Structure formats: structure tokens, C-alpha cells
Amino acid sequence: MQVTPRIGGRPATAPEWIEVLSPYDGSPVARVPALGPDHVASAVAAAGAALSRDDFPQHRRAEVLERTADLLAERAEEFAVTIARESAHPIRTARAEATRAAATLRHAAAESRHLTGDLIPSSELVTPPPNHPGGGSGERLGFTLRRPAGVVAVVSPARFPLVAHVLGPAIAAGCPVVLKPSDRTPVSAIRLAELLVEAGLPDDWISVVTGPAAETPLVLHPAPAVLLFGGAAGEGPRVRQAAAGKRLLLSFEGPVPVIVGADADPGRVIDALQGDISLYVDQSLHDRLVAELQDTIAARRTGDPLDEATDAIPAVAVKPFARLTEAIRLANEANENGPGSQAAIFTSDLGAALRAARELRFAGVLVNEVPTFPLPVPMAALTDLKTVVVTP
């Protein structure tokens, strides 16, 4: 099956195609074109033209996102099968991702309606001198306007193929997008882009470029104002240097740190584990948790991701700690995943949970839950504030 992305509304093809293979059995899932620098340039130009028209107002963006969420909910099973085939996520996990993506789009639509500025009290504005044309009373009106930051370039990771957590906030904020999905899981992203256009998004507001030769030209292109980059851990220094001068949000793939306090329920912790996890376990609970974890994983069923009985098998590394301070330090030192990453703590001690929330240097900290979803991109990062002062 050939899956063709679109650039500015037009199908993008190339002489060479890339095979997308199932990680489960190596079977072919789809073929996507191996696009390159010229395609990236065309995609960025289309996004820039869309931005400059300034003809896609806030209420319409919200309507498109809501309609896309409706369509995604209607076709959730179709998307779940695609996710399971190209990523080998068990079908039950893939369904949860599709459902969560629809909810993320609805959230973005709601937030879009509230992207407003603020009034600035007259007392906070500098009082003009008496001979000022506006008079010396200081009776002036100040307010801020939110404007889109500009074109958003996205390089998405394989872990979350359905990139609603990026596309939803960007569109809500009024930013056209050029998306480079992971070469391992591009089909879900292409299908979501198609769904957005079907829901009414102007076709030059979302362009998708596929293939390894498209990534570096997109990262280096000077036009996008924002770069959202997700990829392999350790790529941070390279990307920061390449994207100097841009607004940069990084979220790399890698182990999620999870702190397990002495008062945690091992069964609850183990039931929550998904994906790539680094467990930092209080030494008093270490041996018990490891034994239960081994038994649980041994009992889980592996196999065809489309089989309803197939379980998700987490990749877990377990390290003991003596004090919470040590666990927080270890988690922070191991964080190569950038500011978009998450951490977690299992404990019934509110003080310990609040301390972890304050001191863990992560964008999100979950309490008594393991991060299994990407954080939506904060819309404040995708808008600029302009201050306006009116003198009567």
C-alpha cells in the first residue's frame, strides 16, 4: 500500500519509496516517498503563505479541531489498527491512543476559544507628562494581543505515532505546520493530517514530509519560528545548535523515571507500567517489587499486536535508593529527554509527592500514575504577546 503525503494540498512523490515494516514480524505495512530538501522548501513556503494570508480565524480553527475529533472518534478502530501495525503497540493500547488523541483535539479546540490577551490597569502604565498630546491624567487603556508565533516545524518520535498533542495546539494557536513523522511510524501521522483537511483545515496549513533526507533540511530551515523535535535520546546538543534562534521544544524518547516510595503498593505500580521505564525503588521495597515484577511479566502474553489477548510488555530497569533526595537526583541526572519529558512518583505521602513535583526537572510529574501519553504542547509557546496602549 502506497501512502502519499501532501505538501500544500498536492501529493508529494519521489523516485524512491521507503518500506514501513511491522516491528512485530517484519511484514510490510505501507510505502511512503523518500522526500528531500526541495520538498521541505516547498512545504515551508506553503506554510508561510498560509500564515501571511491571516484568513483562518480563531473560531474556525476551533470548529475544525472539534470536527477532526469527531471524525477520529468515528474511525478510532481504523486508526488503532494502523497504529498497532506500524508500531507493534497492542491493539488495546492503540485504541487508547486514538481515543486520547480525539480528547486532545477537543481540548485544543476549547483552549483556542480562550486564547485572549489581558487588560493592563491604567495604574501600571507610565503617566505621561502634562504637555503630552493625550493629557496628563494617565487615563489610558492598555491590553495585550496574542499572535501566532509563526510556522511550526515538527519532527515527531516513533513512540506516539498519532501526533495530536502537537498538531492540535499548533493549529489552535494559529500556526501552520510542516510535519516530519518518524520513518518507523509515518502512516498514522499522514492519516491524521488528511483527517484535519477533511474537517475543513485549509490544505496549505498542514504539509507532511517523509523520509530521512527531509529531517535535517527542516531542522535547519530558517523560516519556521518554532521547532518541536522528538527523537532519540542524546540528540539534544545537535538540535539545539542547529536550531539556534528558534523557539525550541524538545521531547526525546528514552526511559521514563518512576520513583517508588516505601509506602507504595507494588501491585499498583506494576499494573501501571508501560513502555521504557527506569524504576527508582526505596530499598526497603526493592526485593519484593522485583520479585512481583518478574512474576507479572512472565505471565503476560506476547504476540501479534492485533490479537486482543496480547499484553504490553514494559522494558524496566530497577535501581534502589535510600532517600528521596537520592532518587530525585538520579532521575534528574539521567534526564536526556529534554523539557518536554515526564516523570512519576508512587507514594501516599503528600509531602514526598509535592517535593518530587517541585524538584524533578521535568515538564510533567505524575503522582501514582505512569506517563503513558505525551503532554500537549503549551499554547503559550506558540503565541507571541503584543502590548497595546490606547490614550483617549
Range of the domain at 228: 6-116+147-251+376-386
Mean pLDDT for the chain overall: 87
Residue 68 and residue 208 in one domain: yes
Percentage of the chain surpassing pLDDT 70? 87
Average pLDDT, integer, range 8-30: 94
**Residue 282 forms part of a structural domain:** yes
Q: Is a pLDDT exceeding 70 seen at residue 386? A: no
Average pLDDT, integer, range 277-297: 92
Residue 44 and residue 95 in one domain: yes
Give 234's pLDDT tier (boundaries 50, 70, 90): low
Task: Note the pLDDT of residue 338.
Answer: 53
Of 73-87, 242-256, 370-384, the poorest mean pLDDT is in 370-384
- pLDDT (tens digit per residue) in 275-285: 788 999 999 99
Q: Is a pLDDT exceeding 70 seen at residue 390? A: no
**Residue 137 forms part of a structural domain:** no
Which CATH number is 355's domain given? 3.40.309.10
Q: What is the 3-state secondary structure (H, E, C) of the chain?
A: CECCCEECCEECCCCCEEEEECCCCCCEEEEEECCCHHHHHHHHHHHHHHHHHCCCCHHHHHHHHHHHHHHHHHCHHHHHHHHHHHHCCCHHHHHHHHHHHHHHHHHHHHHHCCCCCCEECHHHCCCCCCCCCCCCCCCCEEEEEEEECCCEEEECCCCCCCCHHHHHHHHHCCCCEEEECCCCCHHHHHHHHHHHHHCCCCCCCEEECCCHHHHHHHHHCCCCCEEEECCECCCHHHHHHHCCCCEEEECCECCEEEEECCCCCHHHHHHHCCCEEEEEEECCCHHHHHHHHHHHHHHCCCCCCCCCCCCCCCEEEEEEECCHHHHHHHHHHCCCCCCCCEEEEECCCHHHHHHHHHHCCCCEEEECCCCCCCCCCCHHHHEEEEEEEECC
- pLDDT (tens digit per residue) in 330-354: 998 877 545 547 889 999 999 999 9
**Residue 135 forms part of a structural domain:** no
pTM: 0.84
Residue 352 and residue 230 in one domain: no
Number of structural domains (the chain) is 2
For residues 386 and 278, which has the higher predicted lDDT (pLDDT)?
278
Q: Is a pLDDT exceeding 60 seen at residue 109? A: yes
